[in-house]
Each structure stands twice: as structure tokens, then as C-alpha cells.
């Protein structure tokens, strides 16, 4: 049995589908369907059970999942909104919940593969998994940073594997429910279907219009990295998951335009409220991931966007 928290969400549901394609169907999905639109992400997936997030930890601790051995827990569930500033909610949801799950896994010898985030780096341009380069710009990033720190203190005495994966800018199928937090590729595709233009922010932090750079990583590649760690339980640690090469927002827009064969880019004013908490540049350092043995080859924006839009517009 494999458990996927946040399994009806974006990365979680893609992970469930990816596990299905690898022959896994004894999967317990844990999530909160208060956003009922997320159910669509699981319709074509095979799972053994669905458990509401509010009941999951108590059921786990009561031993209700012991009829079959838990091979691993993929902890993808979190509030991922970088514009959410309720710090108490963020820490309860992303930090305290994760600690309970971590200690359960250590007590019972279960590998834990959890979602961290590139948001831990903030404005630092050295995207390397070291404390010296970590300074989050928002409370979401802090919640992920603090759980990484908590895990680091336990690494010397682990009784089961623990892997934290710092996702960069993930895009791809099954993200429509995220609304405003969905990827730029998703929004630009919708804009172009409705008009002849796509909209990007004007320049900021010394970058020209649309030239801010992010490490855009296709969700299928993220799933493959998760599964690599499932297959290699001898590895523990915190690792970046990105392509290792930044590309501009203009690159994403041009990939969307190329797919549709039409369109132009319009630049809009950069929002004042984002200026102090916006990452204008991200680029994963993959040294640690490669040393661990994972040689996943990541798609370019041009490759990934074409795959994604083919799925969206099918």
C-alpha cells in the first residue's frame, strides 16, 4: 500500500496516476475536497480508498491501515498559496501536521517522501540545499523551510528514509482547480483561447518586460523523481527538483503562442503588493540530486508546454 496526502491536488493526483502506470493500485488518497472541483483529478485514477484529511492522522495512529504494509507515504498535502498570510493556519497545516506524520513514519519504519519548495530560498540566487542560502519571502516559504530544518535535525538518527523535494515552478495537467495559483502556462493558454493576446508582467528587479526567469518544471518529470526515490529507499535528504536551467516568462508565452499558431504578448503593470515577496529568478542546483544517483532528464519549457497544451486542449 502507498499513501498519497494531497492526492486530489495538482502534483498529488499526477503522482497517483504515475503510480498507476507503474502498476500500483493499492493507493490511499488523503485530501480535503471542500474544493469539490478536485475530484476531477482522480476520475481516471485507480485507488483503494479516499480518506478526508481531517480524519487521516487519527485513523493512522489507531492502526486502521495495518491490514496491509505501508510501502511509503508521499506527503504532498499543503497550503501552497504564496499570498496566504495567516501564519497560524499555515504552520498548523504545513508544519505541525507534517511533524506528526514524520514521527509516525519513523516509529513504524515507513519511508516518507514529502513536498518542500523552492520558496525556501527567497531572493537568494544560490539555489543550493544549504542553510546559508535559505531566506523565504513569505509565510508559505517559511512553513516549508521550518519543516526542512526540523527534518535535518533528525537525519543523523533516522530509522526510515526521509526525502524532502524542493519543487520549483511546476506546471502541467490537473492544476485547473488551483485558480489564480495555477501555472502561467495554464493562464496564458486560457487567455489566448479567449483573445488574440497573452499578458505578462512588465519588468522588475532589473529584468526587462517578461524577462524574469524561473525554473519551470513539467509535472511528469516531478512524478518520475518521486518514483525514483520510492525505488531507492537507501537515500535520504533534501533535494531540489527543477530542470537546472531557468527560462523566461516570455519563453512560456512564446511556447503557448507557437502551440496555437497565433497571438501576441501584452505587458501589464507589476503589482505593488508582490514587489517585496516575489522571486524574479529561480534555477535549481541539481548537484545533490545527481550525487544521490537520480539522473532524471528534465523537459524544456518548449517540450513541456507542448505536452501540457496537448492534454489541456484534447
Catalytic residues: 140, 178
Could you tell me the CA-to-CA distances from 40 to 133, 171, 183, 187, 260 in Å, in that order?
A: 38, 17, 18, 19, 25
Task: Match 483529478 to its residue by C-alpha cell.
Answer: 41
Cell numbers for 249, please give them: 516568462
Task: Match 523535494 to its residue by C-alpha cell.
Answer: 165
Task: Match 529584468 to its residue by C-alpha cell.
Answer: 207
Q: Which residues pair with 50 in a beta bridge?
A: 29
Q: What is the bridge-based pairing of β-strands 2-5 and 27-31?
A: parallel
Q: For residue 114, give the H/E element and its range.
A: strand 112-117
Could you tell me the CA-to-CA distances from 36 to 7, 41, 184, 202, 232 in Å, in that order?
A: 13, 10, 23, 35, 35
CA dihedral 242, 1, 311, 115 (to 10 degrees): -30
* Cβ 225 vs Cβ 290: under 8 Å: no
* Cβ 99 vs Cβ 60: under 8 Å: no
Buried b (16+ CB within 10 A) or exposed e, 107-134: ebebbbbbbbbbbbbbebeebebeeeeb
Amino acid at each position: 500500500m502507498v499513501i498519497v496526502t494531497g492526492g486530489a491536488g495538482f502534483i498529488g493526483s499526477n503522482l497517483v496516476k504515475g503510480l498507476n502506470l507503474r502498476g500500483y493500485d493499492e493507493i490511499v488518497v488523503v485530501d480535503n475536497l471542500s474544493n469539490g472541483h478536485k475530484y476531477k483529478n482522480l476520475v481516471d485514477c485507480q485507488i483503494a480508498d479516499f480518506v478526508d484529511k481531517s480524519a487521516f492522522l487519527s485513523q493512522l495512529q489507531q492502526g486502521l491501515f495495518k491490514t496491509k504494509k505501508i510501502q511509503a507515504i508521499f506527503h504532498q498535502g499543503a497550503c501552497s498559496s504564496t499570498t496566504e498570510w495567516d501564519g497560524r493556519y499555515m504552520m498548523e497545516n504545513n508544519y505541525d501536521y507534517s511533524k506528526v506524520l514524520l514521527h509516525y513514519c519513523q516509529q513504524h519504519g515507513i519511508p516518507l517522501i514529502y513536498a518542500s519548495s523552492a520558496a525556501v530560498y527567497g531572493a537568494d540566487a544560490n539555489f543550493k540545499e544549504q542553510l546559508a542560502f535559505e531566506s523565504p519571502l513569505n509565510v508559505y516559504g517559511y512553513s516549508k523551510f521550518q519543516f526542512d530544518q526540523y527534518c535535518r535535525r533528525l537525519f543523523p538518527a533516522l530509522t526510515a528514509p526521509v526525502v524532502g523535494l524542493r519543487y520549483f515552478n511546476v506546471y502541467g495537467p490537473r492544476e485547473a482547480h488551483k485558480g489564480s495559483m495555477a501555472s502561467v502556462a495554464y493562464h496564458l493558454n486560457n487567455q489566448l483561447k479567449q483573445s488574440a493576446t497573452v499578458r505578462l508582467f512588465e519588468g522588475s528587479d532589473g529584468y526587462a518586460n517578461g524577462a524574469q526567469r524561473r525554473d519551470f518544471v513539467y509535472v511528469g518529470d516531478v512524478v518520475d523523481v518521486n518514483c525514483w526515490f520510492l525505488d531507492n529507499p537507501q537515500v535520504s535528504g533534501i533535494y531540489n527538483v527543477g530542470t537546472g536551467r531557468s527560462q523566461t516568462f516570455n519563453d512560456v508565452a512564446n511556447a503557448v503562442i507557437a502551440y496555437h499558431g497565433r497571438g501576441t504578448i501584452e505587458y501589464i503593470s507589476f503589482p505593488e503588493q508582490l514587489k517585496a515577496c516575489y522571486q524574479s529568478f529561480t534555477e535549481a542546483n541539481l548537484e545533490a540530486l545527481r550525487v544521490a544517483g537520480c539522473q532524471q532528464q528534465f523537459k524544456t519549457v518548449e517540450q513541456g508546454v507542448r505536452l501540457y497544451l496537448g492534454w489541456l486542449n484534447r
